[in-house]
Amino acid sequence: MHRKAKSHNSIFGIAWNSVLALMVVLLVLIVVVLFIVFTAQPAQAQTFQVIHNFTGGMDGANPQSGLTMDAAGNLYGTTYRGGTGHLGGVFKIKHSGPGWIVVPLYSFAGGNDGANPWGRVAIARDGTLYGTTYGGGEGNCVAGGYGCGMVFHLTPPATVPRTALSPWSETVLYRFTGGNDGGTPQGDLTLDTSGNIYGTTEKGGFNDSCCGVIYELKPFGGSWTESVLYVAGQNDSYILPNGGVIFDHSGNLYGVFTDSSNYSGGVYQLLPSGSSWTEQIVYGFTGGSDGGKPFGGLIIDSSGNLYGTTLVGGNGGGGTVFELTPTNGGWSFNTLYGLQGSGCCYPGSWDKLAMDAAGNLYGTTQNDGAYGVGSVFKLTSSNGGWIYTSLHDFTGGSDGKYPISNLVLDANGNLYGTAGFGGTYNSGVVFEITP
């Protein structure tokens, strides 16, 4: 009896099935590899671009603070120098097709008009702007009889301007004298629901050269009246309030101060008490691992937690990012991250942090980064700690350098800020970082 030989077709079918199985396995492996590659992209996959180079002319030069965003996504800011009088100005930057256009709103002329704004503008409900200048006005707070600064209000033209260069109108609300009323305001202004204005000065108060005040301006009879809420330096002549103040949900005010005699400083609280305010220290920095010299002001989240930065100290020597949490009638301090020290000067963050809807924190450093001329960073909460990501390291060239800048986020998660120097004309830039 003869065995029946296997057919050629059966052998070919087995071989073909093997090939198909191998192809399926290879395809699965490729999909797995691609998934790993794309999901493991580094967090630094953001896109950085300069959206304006300051020329030093009418558009200004050397922005020393960040930007403010209105509901339409337009950006507003100040420059310390430049403008028609070379004493700084206020500008608006808005979308124009696929790009951006800068519109100068006002140039300071010095004297009673004010000079050299060092702080962001605040946008009122009616779309008008409030801000401060570091110099100009009355007194002799700045060398050379340069004045003690002022608080101003800018309003747009009553009719639609024919050109983008139609200036806004300035009203001076208050001129500091450098005496008991304070002098050289610096940092952000805060507006309450009644339209009253709150801020800080570096000088005046305790004496002509020291140590600053926390003040309030109220509209009264067509003008504005200043009330000094607290005089710094009464017990320590080296304490200087910086960065403005913020409110909590109970109407208390918070801010930071530095101590020019050492690397310390702290966070203070002002509580309304009848017609006056009571001050207490929430936390005092040591200049060690917790940091020192907080300068940039505070932000507050919906739970009442405070966040801020210091210029020096920390485990990395470059300042810290910190959190203060209200606990059982007191406060619990936590260092979230120690920044690295580099460069000639203070490498830490000079201005307020920004927080997104997920609770991530964003900030800038002046001298940190791979090239020692500043960086933009992100802190992400993870497993009880915080992960640091550098979003951009400034090179000092066309991208700018020394970003003494607050950051703002739009609804799409894009970040906007300024760098005080560098760029095409070495007069600073406005930048955008897209996720």
CB 118 within 8 A of CB 142: no
Q: pLDDT band for position 139 (50/70/90)?
A: confident
d(CA 38, CA 47): 17
pLDDT for residue 349: 73
DSSP-derived letter for residue 113 is G
In the predicted model, what is the mean pLDDT of residues 62-86?
A: 95
Question: For 208-222, 269-283, 301-315, which range has the lowest pLDDT when averaged over its residues?
Answer: 208-222
d(CA 15, CA 340): 62
Beta strands in 134-231 (DSSP E): 150-155, 169-175, 183-185, 190-191, 197-203, 213-220, 223-231
- Look up tokens 């200048």; give the residue: 133
Structural domains of the chain sorted by starting position, each given as residue range(s) with its CATH number in brackets: 50-434 (2.130.10.10)
Q: Is the peptide bond before 211 cis (omega within 30 degrees of 0)?
A: yes
CB 344 within 8 A of CB 402: no
pLDDT for residue 234: 67
As beta bridge partners, residue 269 has: 254, 280
Q: pLDDT band for position 140 (50/70/90)?
A: confident
- Residue 330: pLDDT above 60? yes
User: Which candidate, 345, 426, 338, places its Cα nearest to that of 377?
Assistant: 338
- Residue 207: pLDDT above 70? no
pLDDT for residue 167: 87
- Residue 24: pLDDT above 60? no
Residue pLDDT, tens place only, 161-198:
555 567 899 999 999 999 999 999 989 999 999 999 99
User: Which candidate, 115, 306, 119, places its Cα nearest to that of 200?
Assistant: 119
The 99-107 sheet, strands edge to edge: 68-69, 75-79, 89-96, 99-107
- Residue 34: pLDDT above 50? no
In the predicted model, what is the mean pLDDT of residues 368-386?
A: 92
d(CA 305, CA 353): 13
pLDDT for residue 232: 82
- Residue 295: pLDDT above 70? yes
How much is the mean pLDDT over the chain?
A: 86
Q: Calculate ∠ Cα 326-328-332, nearest 5°.
A: 45
Residue pLDDT, tens place only, 232-259:
866 655 578 989 999 999 999 999 998 8
- Residue 37: pLDDT above 50? no
DSSP-derived letter for residue 164 is T
**What per-residue string of b and e applies to 153-166 under the rule 16 or more CB within 10 Å gives b?**
bbebeeeeeeeeee
In the predicted model, what is the mean pLDDT of residues 322-347?
A: 86
d(CA 346, CA 365): 9
Tokens (6 digits) for 195: 């339209």
CB 176 within 8 A of CB 138: yes
- Residue 145: pLDDT above 80? no
